Structure 1
Amino acid sequence: MIDADLFRAVLGRFASGITVVTTTDANGTPHGMTVSAFSSLSLDPPLILVCVSNDATMAPVLAATESFVVNVLSATQEAVSRRFAGKVDDRFAGVGYHDGKLGDPVLEDVLASMQCRIVARHPAGDHVILVGEVVDAAAFEGKPLLYYRGGYAVLER
């Protein structure tokens, strides 16, 4: 078994895009959190997955909802990423969004968005893997916001 520091160092060498996962609770209140553990899963049907820590403040909300949105952040949205990663009372204050087809918040000025219906939940270590079937999506031009070795980066090409 390797130690946690080595595991973090190795995983930090993998540059990943940054997403904000959003949903609404039973009262219609929007919730969101920054997530880098996102991946495509299947083209047919169109499936994606996100991994959420069991300790995340949004974990109980995601456990009770049937849908979510993955918002892929652009290079200009580092402040949005930090806001949704931090301990802020109202993460949506000052952040533009509209309600998607399933009623969940879709952030403005993102590179892409995927509105998903939850089709499976899998416990895995200290996380839960949410599998979402993409029911609506949008893609826009721009550069992605990346996370690499513990910090933000921008694609330079």
Structure 2
Amino acid sequence: MEKSLPVHLDTFKQAMGRLATGVSVITSKDQDYNFGLTASSVTSLTAEPPMLLVCIHQKTGTREAIVNSGHFAVHILHEHQSELALQFANSSTDKFAGLDIIYGKHGIPLLQDYFVRIECQAVHEAKAGTHSIFMGEIHQVEIQEKRPLLHFKSEFGKFVSAK
């Protein structure tokens, strides 16, 4: 069988940019510091028990906070939160500045404004390339009646029903 050549990085990024995804902010806490980042690689894993996957670059403080605390929260953003997505996507040292947050049962910072908020215990970490894949057992889910923020071709957008 003929071995294929690896795909060029730019081609891969262009292809994946055409996969419309929801936008999430992942938060955790390590000692007295809150960590968070914007992620689009979040998906359900299993319904029994309820679990999800989040993919996080290994060289982030958020990854270390999840490893050290054993817990994280996923905030699926609503259509009016593109600025929040950008706030958590930059390398600012205080991504929580100006935000109304509370702390969950396990001390994880929780955003008060969200579309869906999910609290998880990290039960397994797998490493692939530059990223860690956390498998989280879901302990708490809260849903607000809003519409999701979407990401497509490096832009944010809104969901429009085909009905």
TM-score above 0.5, yes or no:
yes
Give the equivalent residue in structure 1 for 2:3. none
Q: Under a length normalisation based on structure 1, what TM-score does the superposition of the two structures give?
A: 0.94
> CA–CA distance in 2 between the matches of 1:59 and 1:66?
10
Aligned counterpart for 2:17 among listed residues 1, 12, 18: 12
> CA–CA distance in 1 between the matches of 2:45 and 2:98?
33
Identity %: 30
Rg larger in structure: 2
Unaligned runs of 5+ in 2: 1-5
Paired residues, number:
156
Give the equivalent residue in structure 1 for 2:52. 48
Moved more, 32-41 or 59-68: 59-68
Aligned counterpart for 1:78 among listed residues 74, 77, 82: 82
Task: Return the offset for 1:28.
Answer: 2.8
Give the equivalent residue in structure 1 for 2:123. 119
Q: Deviations over 1:84-124 (max 9, x none)?
A: 11121211111111111221111112011110001000011
Task: Return the offset for 1:150.
Answer: 1.1
Unaligned runs of 5+ in 1: none
Task: Return the offset for 1:57.
Answer: 3.8
> CA–CA distance in 1 between the matches of 2:71 and 2:63?
13
Q: Under a length normalisation based on structure 2, what TM-score does the superposition of the two structures give?
A: 0.91
C-alpha contact 2:35 2:61 (8 A) present in aligned 1? no
Q: Which runs of 4+ in 1 moved over 2 A?
A: 55-63
The one-letter code matched in structure 2 to 1:36 is: S
